[in-house]
């Protein structure tokens, strides 16, 4: 099915790695968009909005290409936790997540302007964090890894995984790209394009 590469409008190394792992041909051209959340937007709507903004920004420059935009946020108690600005904020986020559940939302947008096709969706996965001591939080933050991740932790290839008891939903949503939903959407909406038609 996947003959022609799509364009990934993301600088995320985790998304690039997932695309490669899944054998989805792609090129990487990060989109430059304002990611400031519009006021009052819930997490599900926000990740779809930002994913579509990224896809549209790049598709406007490459209308004959199929562009994939994606965005991920962590939400707890109705608040969105973005990437922490420094180590102190990362520690505060981890204290807030420790010993309880939160939800990770990832939005996907696929846009092919030349055929006027666009799809936008999201997946949500619940993550259950174990309690963490102050020493555990400090040790994790000291690695520097939490600083480039929404919610200040990573579930993959990272010490953050040591503190996750279980999840309910799609693991890859937490990593940043729900692969099954992406694959099904490509098959149902863009198969002719991907096959070179």
Residue-wise pLDDT for 2-32, tens only, equals: 668 899 999 888 899 999 999 999 999 998 8
**C-alpha span between 104 and 67 (Å, rounded):** 23
Give the distance from CA 26 to its chain's centroid: 17
* Residue 5 DSSP label: P
Catalytic-role residue among 42, 71, 86, 134 = 71
Average pLDDT over residues 130-150: 94
**Token pair of 102, please?**
């939160």
Residues 68 and 110: beta-carbon distance below 8 Å? yes
Residue 160 · residue 153 · CB < 8 Å = yes
Catalytic annotation on 71? yes
Among the residue ranges 93-97, 137-141, 183-187, 189-193, the one predicted with the least confidence is: 189-193
Kindly report the CATH number that applies to the domain delimited by 6-194.
3.90.950.10
**pTM (predicted TM-score):** 0.92
Tell me the domain boundaries of the chain. Answer: 6-194
């Amino acid at each position: 099915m996947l003959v022609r590469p799509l364009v990934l409008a993301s600088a995320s190394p985790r998304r690039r790695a997932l695309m490669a792992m899944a054998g989805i041909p792609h090129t990487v051209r990060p989109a430059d968009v304002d990611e400031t959340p519009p006021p009052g937007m819930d997490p599900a709507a926000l990740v779809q909005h930002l994913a579509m903004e990224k896809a549209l920004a790049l598709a406007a420059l490459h209308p004959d290409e199929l562009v994939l935009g994606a965005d991920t946020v962590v939400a707890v108690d109705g608040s969105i936790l973005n990437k922490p600005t420094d180590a102190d904020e990362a520690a505060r986020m981890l204290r807030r997540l420790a010993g309880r559940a939160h939800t990770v939302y990832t939005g996907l947008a696929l846009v092919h302007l030349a055929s006027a096709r666009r799809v936008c969706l999201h997946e949500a996965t619940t993550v259950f964090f174990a309690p963490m001591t102050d020493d555990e939080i400090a040790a994790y933050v000291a690695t520097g890894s939490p600083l480039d991740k929404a919610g200040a932790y990573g579930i993959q290839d990272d010490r953050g995984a040591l503190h996750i008891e279980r999840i309910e939903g799609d693991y890859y949503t937490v990593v940043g790209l729900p692969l099954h939903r992406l694959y099904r959407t490509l098959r149902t909406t863009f198969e002719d394009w991907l096959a070179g038609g």
